[in-house]
Amino acid sequence: MFPGFWSRFKRNKMAVAGSMVVISLFLLSALAPVIAPYDPEQIDLTNVLAPPSSSHWLGTDQLGRDVLSRMIWGGRISLQVGFVSTGVALIIGVILGSLAGYYGGWVDAVIMRFVDIMLCFPTFFLILAVIAFLEPSIWNIMVVIGLTGWMGITRLVRADFISLRERDFVLAAKAIGASNLRIVFSHILPNAMASILVAATLGVAGAILTESALSFLGIGVQPPTPSWGNILTAGKDNIDVAWWLSLFPGLAILITVLGYNLLGEGIRDALDPRIES
């Protein structure tokens, strides 16, 4: 579907680096039960706030739990939130964007005015407001992030559909009597997949960052379930005596989000045949 994609992608060293970060995160999360040295919820009150050492490579937290083990298991939470919430946003965004771009007219006007209304609200504060009325749980967080993150995808898909619906292959499909549903899903949508793929990759990074912020504020993933955000909360409370509780999860969030952003940018460049470098 995308001729020359891999050759252009491999020439982009930053994109390759981003893909290596993403693959490494997948492997660490998938192998968490095997490679995590301790139970992430195991409390050891005789080893509270121990600095990094040979027995605890990243130190321990205020309850003596191994930080490395909690960060490895916390990576699973990040991936779960990133993919599920992005999936929810993609489903809504692609459906609404397809309808607006293909049909135009009053359908487009209604959908885009709704998008404009949603964009008037600061996304993070809208998430905070919704979460405040719900029971804190990882599933609520994933759904809420997805339900507040579809607007950009809708606008992107709409723009692609407006451009593609006038192409010759679409006019030919209409001429032979193809239904609107067949034209949208068999002809237009596959040609808009490049933009959707890039938006999905960047959306995962945004969702991971949002979940970490919510957990840091105490309304995201609830202890004792490990999350990079709630490890940072413990770091904030003990910043004077346990620097490792802030440094290592902060670096994990930074590197992960940067990796997904580099991967998304690399995919975007590789899908553009005009870019040869």
Polymer length in residues for the chain = 277
Section 12-16 average pLDDT: 90
Residue 194: what pLDDT?
83
Section 88-101 average pLDDT: 94
Q: Give the C-alpha separation, 29 to 61, whole Å.
A: 21
Q: Is pLDDT of 106 > 80?
A: yes
- The CATH architecture to which 5-40+58-270 belongs is Orthogonal Bundle (1.10)
Q: Is pLDDT of 205 > 60?
A: yes
What the block records as the tokens of 206 is 């945004």
**What are the domain boundaries of the chain?**
5-40+58-270
Residue-wise pLDDT for 244-262, tens only, equals 999 999 999 999 999 999 9
Q: What number of other Cβ atoms are within 10 A of residue 163's Cβ?
A: 13
Residue 126: what pLDDT?
80
pLDDT band at 272 (very low <50, low <70, confident <90, very high): low
